[in-house]
Amino acid sequence: MTAIFRNLDRMLGNLPGILFLAAFAALWQLIAFLTHSPSFPSFFGVIVALFAHAPVIVSQLSITLGRAFSGFAIALVLALPLGIVLGRIRLLRDLAEPVIELIRPLPAIAVIPVTMIFFGIGDAAKIAVVVYGAAFPILINAMEAVAGAHPTLSNVARSLRLTRFETMLTIDLPAALPQIVAGIRISLALSVLLAVVSEMILSSNGLGTYLIRAQQRFEISDVLASLLVIALTALALNATMLAFEHRLLAWHHARQATARGPA
């Protein structure tokens, strides 16, 4: 928890960035004041809407995060071991790569009709959309990290007479961990985005549905307040992942610092 707050403090301590955001908010407020357009609410109007509907937004956000985390967890459990196996076993990688490259470019929103056929329009369909989109960053990063590992590591495994499973667990996984964690961080942020998008099409609740209904009522302040909540949630999740990454990969960062030498 301390590391999370440290990362948030580091972000908040970025004075040029904070000043830029303040200038952007001031410009937004000025343009809204000059235009007096109902389709262009002021920055303060958005903040007022956020606090006025905070209980509803928070409850809908909890539903969205539940779906996002469920899909992310399933994607992690499925894609990480598969990526390590494909990265280690060349024949399997050659067989799987064409299939992966064929379906990877498909946007997650395009598979929603397919998920509706198999899972209906309930939580399972929305979680399936999240799993589909979140699995690829983990899978690709794990596969490429293991496949691109230094040949010396394979020689070490052979000299120690490790089985293939032991090699993947004790050598491939630690060596590929920095790149794998980067994929996991991307996947976590993508999970929230996909959960919101799937709710906009399939759901009767969640932040995506709240956003769509606010748009249909032409309550632009509520729409922007929802987007602000999504952005702040992504910021908090990123800070959490950075703290986790710093703790998990302390050895990696220490080695990089030693390699760089004194500044």
Determine, yes or no, domain membership for 240: yes
How buried is residue 126: exposed, middle or buried, by Cβ count under 10 Å (0-12/13-18/19+)? buried
Label residue 261 left, alpha or beta by phi (over 0 means left) and psi (-120 to 50 means alpha).
Answer: left
What was the pLDDT predicted at 77?
94
Number of residues that this document lists for the chain: 263
Looking at the domain assignment, is residue 148 inside a domain?
yes
Q: Over the stretch 139-170, which tens digit does the pLDDT of each residue have? A: 999 888 888 777 777 777 777 777 777 777 77
pLDDT for the residue 245 = 76
Asked if residue 102 belongs to a domain, the reply is yes
* CB contact at 8 A, 191 and 71: yes
Structure tokens at 208: 């995506």
Higher pLDDT, 186 or 154: 186
Overall average pLDDT of the 91-107 stretch: 87
Q: What stretches of 161-248 show up as alpha helix (H) in DSSP?
A: 164-167, 173-202, 207-216, 220-248
Residue 88 predicted with pLDDT over 70:
yes
27 part of a folded domain: no
Is 10 within the bounds of a domain? no
Element spanning 258, H or E: helix 250-260
Residue 2, in any domain of the structure:
no
pTM of this structure: 0.80
pLDDT at 256 exceeding the cut of 60:
no
DSSP state of 111: G
CATH of residue 68's domain is 1.10.3720.10
Give the span between the Cα atoms of 105 and 67, in whole angstroms: 23
DSSP state string for 19-77: HHHHHHHHHHHHHHHHH--TTS--HHHHHHHHHHTHHHHHHHHHHHHHHHHHHHHHHHH
Give me the amino acid identity at 126: K
Write out pLDDT tens, residues 108-126.
Answer: 888 888 888 888 888 888 8
41 in any annotated domain: no
For 62, list phi and psi in degrees, rounded to 5.
Answer: -65, -35
Return the pLDDT at 65.
92
What is the arithmetic mean of pLDDT over 180-187? 88
Share of the chain above pLDDT 70, in %: 87
Helix pair 112-119, 123-147: axis angle to 10 deg: 120
Measured in whole angstroms, the distance separating CA 63 from the mean position of its chain's CA atoms is 17
Range of the domain at 159: 46-260
Give the integer Cα–Cα distance in Å for 197 and 227.
Answer: 12
Q: Using one digit for the tens of pLDDT, what is the confidence trace for 9-64? A: 555 556 676 777 788 788 877 887 878 777 778 788 888 888 888 888 899 999 99
Lowest mean per-residue pLDDT among 52-66, 141-155, 184-198, 229-243: 141-155
Determine, yes or no, domain membership for 13. Answer: no
Number of domains in the chain: 1
User: What is the per-residue pLDDT for 14?
Assistant: 64
Q: Is the predicted pLDDT of residue 263 greater than 70, yes or no?
A: no
